[in-house]
Amino acid sequence: MGDIVVSKTKEGGGSSKISCPVLTETNYAVWTIRIRLVLKINKVWDLVENEIDDSEENDLSTALIFQALPEMLLFQLGNLKTAKKVWDAIKERYLGADLVREARLQTLASDLERLKMKDKDTIDDIARKLTELSSKATTLG
C-alpha cells in the first residue's frame, strides 16, 4: 500500500501535504510519530490523548487514524467509538502487554551491548544505529 497524504489548506489560499505511511508489522514506532503529527496539525491530538467528547472532532481524528491502517486492522477496530479507544487498541496490539514490552527493551539493550564498529562502518552508520535503538526504546517507554 502507498502512503496516505493528508492535505490541509492554509490561511491565505496555500495548502500543505503530510505523508503518513500505512501501519505495518514493522513500522509502528515511525508510524506513531507521523500520525501523531497529522493529528496535531488537524488540532485533534488532545482529543485522542484525553478522550474529549466532541463528536465532530472525534470523527475527524478517527478518520485520520483509520486512513493509515491496513484493512485487516480496520475491520478489527472499526466498531470502537472513540479515537482514543482506537489509539489505545493499536498501541496495545503493537506494544503488547508489559511483559512483551520488557522483553523488547531487553532485546534492545542486548543489541546495544553487541553494537561494535566494523572496519567498513562510518561514524554516521553507528550514529544511525544508535539513534534507531534509542528511538525504539523511547517508543517502548
Quick one: which of 3, 23, 30 has its CA closest to 86? 23
Nearby residues of 61 by Cβ (< 8 Å), 6 or more positions away: 39, 42, 44, 45, 47, 48, 83
Considering the domain architecture, whether residues 105 and 51 belong to the same structural domain is answered as no
* Same-domain pairing of 79 and 122: no
pLDDT of residue 136: 86
Q: Could you list the residue range(s) of the whole structural domain that residue 131 is in?
A: 98-140
Which residues, 6+ apart, have CB-to-CB distance to 79 below 8 Å?
Answer: none
Alpha-carbon distance of 5 to 111, in angstroms, equals 34
Q: Are 67 and 121 in the same domain?
A: no
Same domain, residue pair 29 and 69: yes
* Statement to judge: residues 124 and 63 lie in one domain: no
CA angle, corner 82, sides to 35 and 58, nearest 5?
70
Do 59 and 125 lie in one domain? The reply is no
The strand pairing partners of 9, in sequence order, are 15
Same domain, 86 and 30: yes
**Total count of domains within the chain:** 2
Give the model confidence (pLDDT) of 66-89 as tens digits: 999 999 998 999 899 899 999 999
Could you tell me if 77 and 117 lie in one domain? no
Asked if residue 139 lies in contact with residue 29, where contact means CB atoms within 8 angstroms, the answer is yes
Q: Are 72 and 132 in a shared domain? A: no
d(CA 99, CA 121): 34
> Sorting pLDDT into bands at 50, 70 and 90, what band is 17?
low
For residue 1, what pLDDT band results from cuts at 50, 70 and 90?
very low
Spatial separation of the C-alpha atoms in residues 20 and 138, rounded to whole Å? 20
21 and 90 in a common domain: yes
86 and 33 within one domain? yes
Q: What is the mean pLDDT of the chain?
A: 83
Whether residue 54 contacts residue 45, with contact meaning beta carbons closer than 8 Å, is answered with no
Indicate whether 36 and 22 sit together in one domain: yes
